[in-house]
A and B are shown apart, each in its own frame.
Chain A
Amino acid sequence: MATRVLVLLGTKKGAFTLESDAARRSWSLRGPFCETWPMNHVIADPASGTIYAGGGNEWFGAAVWKSADLGRTWTHSSDGLAYEAGEDAISSVWSLASRNGQLYAGVQPAGLFVSDDHGQTWAQVAGLREHPTRPKWQPGGAGLILHSIVPHPADPDQMWIGISAAGVFHTADGGRTWEPRNSGTRCDFLPEAERYPEFGQCVHCLVMAPDQPDRLYQQNHCGMYRSEDGGQHWESIEAGLPSSFGFPAVTHPRDPSTLYLLPLNGDIAGRYVPEGKAAVWRTRDGGARWEAMRNGLPQENAFFGVLRQAMAADRLDPAGVYAGTNTGTLFASADEGESWTSIAQHLPPILSVETLVIDA
């Protein structure tokens, strides 16, 4: 059986795809797609193979693009992807997630929308926007963005989302009501006595362990964390890492105790890899111990970062891991992070990386 492996890229100048076979040694690049609109997140529905790309264009606004033929042809829609008249308009789509035929979109300014017709029309998940804490949500460096959408794999009423900088919120009733899930995550940017508020944390990326929905990980502006109870309590896992700052967090496709991070040198230190030496950091035990994976990554004069949605794993065995830089290079590992090669260079700044494996 021939296996096709696709890496889906959102960049500042459109969407791209790279394709290989199961060996993942040679790759062919296609793109840019989506009329070179900035694409914050490009995903695939694994069931249908449909590709969705969410972004926003400086002239024409926010939309979700769709391709049912792996990128050859595209349509777009923003029908219903809007707040009420008089409110600030949506400037871009930031994050996408699919679950059992439903498609979710997180937008800027922060809100959540759902489509039941594969991205043709959208409706707001109003309960989040009506949350009593919303007037106090503060924008992070990228604006007030809903960037992480984590559906429960079995319970359609449960979902977690991450907003920068409002924190993690969870719903157990299909989005009607939400509660903050930030206990134990700190705000170094607040006075010392105020550093553990109920909400307002600058979560950067929220992910769920495979087959273990109570185990969540997050990369925060201020630390790395693991939760064993669906985010009700968070424990720091940053000991052993070179900094507490970074953007992406990637889980392994099968092992709930493996996590990949890419720490940067600090929020006001340049936000590039520490000492100009690139490393993906991996834990195999839920964050107790970390190892730097450097083989094949540049070890001098590297001044790039990897953004919050720009790292991903595929579902093959051994798992492939991919990291796209904000300087337009895509690094790939076909051996769970042990060794790396550059499989694309000179691209626009990479905003998102996702994968699609097709057993043709």
Chain B
Amino acid sequence: MRSSPADEHVTVVLPSALMRLFPGCEREPAICATSVREMVDALDRRWPGIRDRLCDSTPRVRLHINIFVEGERAALETPLPPGAEVVIMTAISGG
């Protein structure tokens, strides 16, 4: 198993609408991950089911979920530099 040095941690900012679905969920968890995919997997281990809310089974980031890495829209393959800030936001949608 790969080591998890502290400098591989990223800070993830979760949207409040997502937090309401997972009682006890932290707003800004520190996650050890080197890609968005790893980050989603790590979030799902801490709060089981959260992957399904962020990604569909294709698999890809849901159409109306935006994941920004250092201000740029990201996909599952996007690498995460150590110490990065990842902001997850709900996009414009609904009806």
The interface of chain A, by Cβ under 8 A from chain B, is 12, 35, 58-61, 63, 76-79, 81-90
Whether A78 pairs with B56 at a CB distance below 8 angstroms is no
Across the interface, B21 reaches (CB within 8 A) one of A58, A60, A82, A87, namely A60
Whether B52 pairs with A58 at a CB distance below 8 angstroms is no
Q: If the complex has contacts A85-B59, A89-B58, are A58 and B93 also in contact, measured as CB distance less than 8 A?
A: yes
Whole-angstrom distance between the alpha carbons of A89 and B18 in the complex? Answer: 20
In the complex, residue of chain A having the shortest beta-carbon distance to the beta carbon of B94: A58
B57 within 8 A of A: yes
Across the interface, A61 reaches (CB within 8 A) one of B48, B53, B91, namely B53
Q: If the complex has contacts A35-B20, A63-B52, A76-B21, are A58 and B95 also in contact, measured as CB distance less than 8 A?
A: yes
User: Apart from A63-B52, A79-B48, what are 9 other A-B pairs with CB-CB below 8 Å?
Assistant: A58-B93, A59-B62, A59-B90, A60-B52, A60-B54, A60-B62, A61-B52, A82-B52, A89-B58
In the complex, residue of chain A having the shortest beta-carbon distance to the beta carbon of B91: A59
User: How many interface residues does chain B have, given as a range?
Assistant: 20 to 34
Whole-angstrom distance between the alpha carbons of A78 and B44 in the complex? Answer: 13
Query: Which 7 A-B pairs rank lowest in CB-CB distance, beginning with the nearest?
Result: A89-B56, A82-B57, A60-B53, A58-B93, A78-B52, A59-B64, A59-B90
Across the interface, B52 reaches (CB within 8 A) one of A79, A84, A85, A88, namely A79
Whether A87 pairs with B57 at a CB distance below 8 angstroms is yes
In the complex, residue of chain B having the shortest beta-carbon distance to the beta carbon of A57: B53
Q: Could you tell me which residues of chain B, from 52 to 95, have a CB within 8 Å of some CB in chain A?
A: 52-54, 56-59, 62, 64-65, 90-91, 93-95
| Chain A residues with CB below 8 A from B64, complex form | 58-59
B17 within 8 A of A: yes
Q: B84: shortest Cβ distance to chain A, in Å?
A: 23
20 contacts between A and B (CB under 8 A): A12-B95, A35-B17, A35-B20, A59-B64, A59-B65, A60-B17, A60-B52, A61-B52, A61-B53, A61-B62, A77-B49, A78-B49, A79-B48, A79-B49, A82-B57, A83-B57, A85-B58, A85-B59, A87-B57, A88-B58
The interface of chain B, by Cβ under 8 A from chain A, is 17-18, 20-21, 48-49, 52-54, 56-59, 62, 64-65, 90-91, 93-95
* Chain A-chain B contacts (Cβ-Cβ < 8 Å), number: 56
Across the interface, B57 reaches (CB within 8 A) one of A12, A58, A90, namely A90
In the complex, residue of chain B having the shortest beta-carbon distance to the beta carbon of A58: B93
| Chain B residues with CB below 8 A from A63, complex form | 52
Whole-angstrom distance between the alpha carbons of A212 and B53 in the complex? Answer: 42
In the complex, residue of chain A having the shortest beta-carbon distance to the beta carbon of B56: A89
Across the interface, A60 reaches (CB within 8 A) one of B18, B48, B59, B95, namely B18
In the complex, residue of chain B having the shortest beta-carbon distance to the beta carbon of A84: B57
Whole-angstrom distance between the alpha carbons of A85 and B58 in the complex? Answer: 5
Whole-angstrom distance between the alpha carbons of A83 and B49 in the complex? Answer: 16
| Chain A residues with CB below 8 A from B57, complex form | 82-85, 87, 89-90
Q: A162: shortest Cβ distance to chain B, in Å?
A: 24
